[in-house]
Chain A
Amino acid sequence: MAEVILDHVWKSYAGNLWAVKDFNLTIKDKEFMVFVGPSGCGKSTTLRMVAGLEEISKGSISIAGRVVNNVPPKDRDIAMVFQNYALYPHMTVYDNMAFGLKLRKYKRSDIESRVREAADILGITDYLHRKPKALSGGQRQRVAVGRAIVRKPKVFLFDEPLSNLDAKMRVQMRAEISKLHVRLEATMIYVTHDQVEAMTMGDRIVVMKDGIVLQVATPLDLYENPANLFVAGFIGTPPMNLFEGVIRRGADGWFFDGETLQVALLPKMQAELGIYVDKKVVMGMRPEHVGSPLAENTAGAPKITARVDVVEPMGAETYLYMKAGRHNFIAKIDPHRRCAMGDELQLAIMNAKAHFFDPATTSLIV
C-alpha cells in the first residue's frame, strides 16, 4: 500500500512568499495522479516536497502510512524522473541504472537482472554500454525512467519528464508511461504544464494556480465540469469560449444577453442563476458545442450569427475563429461545410452544455 497523503501542506520561500498554500490531497495506491498548472503554480515544489528535495514548511506528507517530513529522500522509497533526465554523463547506461542499486549494496547478480529487466521493458537493452551523450532525447528519457524502475519504489515521481522531447516523441512516451503504470502497478505522481498530457495520462488531475489547488478530478470530469474560470480556460484545446454578458428574464423565457449575441437558457438552469438575473456572468461554451454537426442536429438549439475571421481546416474538423460584435469565439464545424473569411454564418449553439461562472469569484454557478 503506497498511499500518499498531503495534509495541509504549505511551502514558503523567504518569509511570506507562499509557493504552496494549504495543499490537501490523498493519492490512492496505484493511482496515476497528475499535477497540472501554469509555470510557477507550485506543482513542482509540491512534488519535490514529496521527494524530500524541499523542506515542508507546514503540514505533513505521509507515504504508505508513514509521515516522511523528516525522512531523507533516499529512505522514502520513491524514485524521480527529472525534466532534463539528470543522467550521470560519465557513466554508461548500465551504470546509470545500476548506480542506486550499487549504493544500496545489492548483489551483483541482482543488479544485473534488475537492470536487464528494466532495459527490456523500456527497449534500451542495445544501448546499455553507451554513454548518455550517444543517445537521443527519447532514449535518454527511457534510461531516466529505467533508472527509476530498477529500484522498484513504492512511488514514482515525474517532474515534467517529456518537456524536452519533440512533439512526436512526447506522444509516444506518453503512451509508454501510461502502459508502464499499468504494468508496474505503482503509485505515480506526474507533474506537467501540458494539459493534454494531464488529460491523457492521469487517473485524476490536480489543477493548481498560484500555489492553490483549484480542482481535483478525473480528466473527463475536469473537462465537463470545470470548477472555475481558470480550469475552464486551461483544460481543453482549443479552450472553452467565454462570453461576458447578463442574465435576462425575457418574454420567451430566460436568456443570456451578450448584446451582440443572445442565447436562450434551459429552464433547469434558472434555479441556480436566479440570483444573477440582470447581473454580469460569464458563459462558457466548448467549441465543439458551437456549429458542430452535433449542435446543428440538436432540436431546438438556438442560433447565433457571427462573422468568420479565420478558417483553420484540421482535416477531421474545421475551426472557425468567429467574431460577433465584441465577442470572439471558436467554433468546431463539419469540415465539409464551406465557408470563407468574412462570411456571415448562422451557427447552432448547444445551450444545454453551457456553463456559467461568477465573474467576481470566478467559480462555477451551473
Chain B
Amino acid sequence: MPIISTIGRKHWKVRALFAGMYLFLVIGAATMVYPFMLMLAGSTKSAVDLKYFEAIPRFLHDDTWLYRKHIEGVFNESLIDQNMAYDRDDTAFENVNPPEGCKPGLLGEWRVFISEAQLPSYAYQCGYLHAPVSRTIPGGLRAFKQDLMVKFGKDIAQVNRAMGTEFETWNVVGLNVQPLTRQNKPMATLFSKTFNDFKARMPAAWRYYASMDGYYKKMYLKPLYGLKIEEYNREHGTRYDSYNDIRLARRCTENGTAKEREDWAQFVRLTLAPQWIRVEGAALAEYHAYLQAKHDTIATLNKRYGTDYSAFQEVPLIGEPPLVGMALSDWEAFIVGWKDPDTKRLYQAPVDSLRIFSVEWLFRDFLMQKYGSLEELNRRWGAAYGTAAAIGLPQRDFHYRWFLENRRALRIEFVTRNYRTVCEYILFHGRGIVNTVIYCGLAVLTALLVNPLAAYALSRYKMSSTYKILLFLMATMAFPPMVTQIPNFLMLRQFNLLNTFAALILPGMANGYAIFLLKGFFDSLPRELYESAALDGASEWTIFWQLTMALSKPILAVIALGAFTGAYANFMFAFVVCQDEKMWTLMVWLYQLQQMRGQSVMYASLIIAALPTFVIFLFCQNIIMRGIVVPSEK
C-alpha cells in the first residue's frame, strides 16, 4: 500500500500529508538558500556592518546604513579622522547619523573655494584609499592602481624601477593613510608626488580637509579637560555653551583668557605641524639670532642648507616649510623653542608672531574678501555668525550632498567592490588561472582514460582475481585523502616530481570509486552488444571506444564532473606538493588572499570560486539528470 495512492487524493488526510510534505520541502529549501543569502550578503560588508548577519544587507534598503558605510569609506575607516574633520564626538561609525536637513548655506562657496584656493595636497586626504578594518580594496585605491598601470604598464617591476618603491606584487600596493600630525610629515618621494597628483583628480566630495578646530579640540583640549564644557569653563573662566563655540584662534592674542592663550601657545608650539603655522615679521631678529647661535657662521649654514647667503641678516623667514632638510628641523625647533647648550639662552619664535595658517582661516579669509563683511555674509545666507571664527568648514553637508546624489552608484560599489578585489587579485596573479585550467583539464582527461580502461578490463575479462582487485579498490576508498597526503608527498619527492603537474595529477589518476562505478555500469551493458560487435569485426579498442565509452556518456560525465570538482577544490594537497608560487592553483591563491584580506573579501572569493563549478553543473545538468541509467533496449 503506497503512502500516496493515486486514488482518494481529495481526502483531507492525504491533503494534510501533502501540505506537510510541501512544508518540509519549503523548510528544507529555506535552510539551503538562507546560508547562501548570508554568504552573498556577507560579501558586500565593510567594517561598519560586518557583525550583522542578514540575508539582505541593510545598506541596500536603509539609507542611514549606506551613509555610515560611505562615511566610513570617505574617512578610510578612521573614526578619529571623521571626528576631527567634522568636529564631532562619535563613538563608532555605527552611531554616525546623516546631518538633519542639508543647508545649502556655504556649500556653493566651499565648492568654489576648494577648486580655486589651490590648497597644498597635504591639506586634505582622499577617501576610499585604505580599509584597515574591512581589509578590502576600496574604489580609490583601485583607481590609483589603475592609474599606475596606465602609466607604467602591468609589470609591477616597472613601477618599482620608476619610483624606487618595493612592491612585490600589485596586491601589496597600498597607501598608508594616516592623519597629518607632527610625526606624519608630508613626504617628498616620487611615489607620494604621483599619489598627490592622483589625489587631486579624485572627486572633491571624497576629500576631507584637515580641520584645525577639530584637531585642536579632539587631540588637545578634550584629552586635557574632558568632554564636558563645564569642566573647560571652570578651568578657563569662560562661559561657552558647548565645545562647538570654541575655535582655534588665528593668533594667540585673539584668545579671551590667559589660560586659553596658554593652551593655544602650547598647542601651536608643540602639537601642531609646522605646515599649519606661519611666523610673522616680528620674529625675524630672533630668528637670525637663533640661526647664528646654532650655526655659528653663515658659511656653516650655507653648507648645511645648500644656500649662499652672505650674512645671517639675509636669511628670510620661512613661509611654507620645506618637506625635508635641515632648514625644516631648524624651523621646527625655532617654533618649539631651542635652548643654546652653551649660553642656556632660549631662542623661540615670539608667541605674538605665530599665526595659524589653516584651511578654516583661508576659507574665512576667502569669504570675507568676497562679501566684504560678516554682516553682508549673514544677510546673504540668512546666517548668524557672531565672528568670522565661528564659520566652520561645511564638509559634513558637502559630503552628505554628494551622498544623496550618488546613493545608487554607492550601492553598486559596495555590492561589487569585494568581488572586484578578488577578480583583480586573481588576474594579477599570472599563473593561478592557467594552472587551474591545466590541472583540471588533465585531471578530467586522465580520469576519463584510466578509470574506464581499468573498469573495462575488470568487466570484460572474468579473471580469477577480479574479486580481490575490487576488494583492493574498495579498500582505497576507506582512507580519507588526508591520510594519504603525506605519504604521497614523500613518494613524489622521491621521484623528484614536486612542483610539477605530474605531482598534482598522478596520485589521483586512478580512482577506486570511479572504477567501481564504471565496472558496475559496464557489467550492466548487454553482453550481446559486445558479441554483436565482435561478429561485426570490431577490435577490442573499437569496442571500448565506439561502444562501451559511447554508451557510458552519462556516467562518464558524472566521473568527469567528480574529477573536475576534485581537482578544482583540491587545496591542501595542491599546496603541499606544489609549494612553488609558479605552480599554485586558484585555490591556493584564494587561500593566500584570505590571509591578507578581510572576511567580506573571503566571502566574495568563496562565491567566485564556486562559480566555475556552478556553471559546469548548469551546463551538464541534462546529462547528469539523465544520470546513471542503463541504456535499455527492451
Interface residues of A (CB under 8 A from B): 51-53, 72-74, 78-80, 82-90, 99-100, 103-104, 132-133, 140, 147, 164
Contact = CB atoms under 8 A, between A and B. Distances in A.
Contact of A74 (B526, B529, B535, B634): B535
Given A90-B550, A99-B536, A100-B537, A85 B531 contact: no
Which 6 pairs from chain A and chain B are nearest by CB? Answer: A100-B536, A86-B528, A74-B537, A86-B532, A82-B528, A89-B631
B172 to A, nearest CB: 55
18 contacts: A51-B535, A53-B531, A53-B535, A73-B535, A74-B535, A80-B532, A82-B531, A82-B532, A84-B634, A86-B526, A86-B528, A88-B532, A88-B533, A89-B633, A90-B551, A99-B533, A103-B537, A164-B634
A88 B529 contact: yes
Interface in B4-41: none
B631 A90 contact: yes
B542 interface: yes
B538 to A, nearest CB: 5
B439 to A, nearest CB: 31
Contacts of B526: 84, 86
Interface in B508-554: 526, 528-529, 531-538, 542, 547, 550-551
Nearest to A72: B534
Contacts of A84: 526, 528, 633-634
A90 B526 CA distance: 14
Name B's interface SS: helix
A63 to B, nearest CB: 13
B547 A88 contact: yes
Interface residues on B, range: 10 to 19
B256 to A, nearest CB: 97
A51 B526 CA distance: 17
A78 B535 CA distance: 8
Interface of B: 526, 528-529, 531-538, 542, 547, 550-551, 631, 633-634
Contacts of B538: 74, 99, 103
Given A99-B536, A100-B536, 18 more contacts: A53-B535, A73-B535, A74-B534, A74-B536, A79-B535, A80-B532, A80-B535, A84-B526, A84-B634, A85-B633, A86-B526, A86-B531, A88-B547, A89-B551, A90-B631, A100-B537, A103-B537, A104-B537
A20 B550 CA distance: 36
A311 to B, nearest CB: 38
Nearest to B525: A89
Contacts of A104: 537
Contact of A80 (B531, B551, B634): B531
A99 B547 CA distance: 11
A280 B287 CA distance: 153
A80 B536 CA distance: 9
Contacts of B631: 89-90
Contacts of A85: 633
Most buried by A among B534, B536, B537, B634: B536
Contacts of A133: 633
Given A82-B528, A89-B633, A103 B536 contact: yes
Most buried by A among B532, B533, B537, B633: B532
Contacts of A89: 551, 631, 633
Contacts of B550: 88, 90
A349 B536 CA distance: 55
B221 to A, nearest CB: 86
A95 to B, nearest CB: 10
Nearest to A104: B537
Most buried by A among B529, B633, B634: B633
Nearest to B631: A89
B536 A140 contact: no
Contacts of B536: 74, 99-100, 103, 147
B289 to A, nearest CB: 103
A14 to B, nearest CB: 12
Contacts of B633: 84-87, 89, 132-133, 140
B616 to A, nearest CB: 23
A99 B538 CA distance: 9
A83 B550 CA distance: 22
Contacts of B528: 82-84, 86
A147 B538 CA distance: 14
Nearest to A53: B531
Nearest to A98: B536
Most buried by A among B526, B534, B537, B538: B537
Nearest to A157: B535
A171 B605 CA distance: 68
A53 B529 contact: no
Contacts of B535: 51-53, 73-74, 78-80, 100
Nearest to A105: B537
A269 to B, nearest CB: 49
Contacts of B547: 88
Contacts of A80: 531-532, 535
A88 B538 CA distance: 13
B52 to A, nearest CB: 55
A140 B532 CA distance: 14
A86 B529 contact: yes
B547 to A, nearest CB: 6
Most buried by B among A80, A89, A133, A164: A89
A128 B634 CA distance: 19
Nearest to A75: B537
Contact of B534 (A53, A83, A88): A53
A74 B537 CA distance: 5
Contacts of A132: 633
Nearest to B530: A86
A80 B532 CA distance: 7
B530 to A, nearest CB: 9
Contacts of B537: 74, 100, 103-104
A73 B532 CA distance: 10
Contacts of B634: 84, 164
A87 B525 CA distance: 12
